[in-house]
Structure 1
Amino acid sequence: MTDHSEIISRMTGLLYPFILLFGFYIILNGHASPGGGFQGGAVLASVFITRYLVEPDRCIRLKTLKTAEKTLFVCIILYPALFLFASTTNHTELMNLIYLVAMNFLIGLKVCSGFTIIFFRFAFYEGGI
């Protein structure tokens, strides 16, 4: 008897696109409805976590994920400064909307990569896998 369930792996494979779509929906509509970067990033991280739980043999490149997280952090710091200093005139509604959506998107991807790194840190180092 194996621990691998074909039904669970196929069902999670079918649900991945919907989870990704829902996570990006939460991120992109965070400026107008409850939700935003943090909540959407947590939903996106659940895709990576369930992928590991269903198929633990498939590896994930943590070094690449850590590099992406650091790059996203720098972008989160630089984008508001660029937005603040680049426009000396008054901000229009469209500029504010673009700023909010872009910040939600950056924060969502940062939270997704951070939660995924934390999970794999616990799984590999604390769990003894």
Structure 2
Amino acid sequence: MNEHSDLTSTTLGFIYPLFIIYGLYIIFNGHISPGGGFQGGAVLSAMFISKYLILPLLDTPLAKIQTVEKLLLLLIVATPILFLLTRFNTAYAVLNTPYLILMNTLIGFKVACGMSVIFLRFVFYEMQ
């Protein structure tokens, strides 16, 4: 893995922003179309993994990614509880769509962090 092709690096540099936009599109439109948090998070994670495969960085902040993942899990659990206990879903029906977008976003980033952590764990343990 020490040598990488200039063609793959250039191609990844070109499609990397496009796939990030595509992953965010899937996440933000998950409430009105098929897809959502999990599928968009998988696309974002796949781009992170492909970037790592092209240009492996051994100083990847695995602990920071895990901390963000735990914080996102806390928000994923707390948001619906607060939304239902405050009865915003019945009192303000207009807030249902922003709630779904928020939940898709939280789930998408949680999935992206989780899949990236799983991949990096395999890589780091395989190198030992």
SS in structure 2 at match of 1:90: helix
Q: Within 5 Å, which residues of 2 pair with 1:40-119?
A: 40-57=40-57, 59-87=59-87, 90-119=90-119
TM-score, normalised with respect to structure 1: 0.91
Q: 1:78 to 1:89 in 2, by over 3 A?
A: closer
Distance 2:58 2:5 in 1: 15
1:114 positional shift: 0.1
User: What is the CA-CA distance between 1:87 and the residue it aligns to?
Assistant: 3.1
Structure 1 residue 4: deviation in Å?
A: 1.6
Report runs of 4+ in structure 1 exceeding 6 Å deviation: none
Uncovered stretches (5+) of structure 2, i.e. residues with no partner: none
Q: 1:44 to 1:89 in 2, by over 3 A?
A: closer
Contact 2:26 2:40 in 1 (8 A): yes
Of all paired residues, the percent bearing the same amino acid is 45
Give the superposed CA RMSD: 1.6
**How many residues were matched structurally?**
127
Shift of the 9–89 alpha-carbon distance from structure 1 to 2, 3 Å rule, reads closer
1:80-110 CA distances to partner (integer Å, 9 max, x unpaired)? 1111122367244421101100000000000
Normalised to the residue count of structure 2, the TM-score between the two structures is 0.92
Mapped contact 1:52–1:58 kept (Cα < 8 A): no
Q: Within 2, Cα distance between the matches of 1:115 and 1:89?
A: 31
Per the TM alignment, residue 53 of structure 1 is displaced from its structure 2 partner at its CA by 0.4
Partner amino acid, structure 1, of 2:108: G
Q: CA deviation at 1:32?
A: 0.6
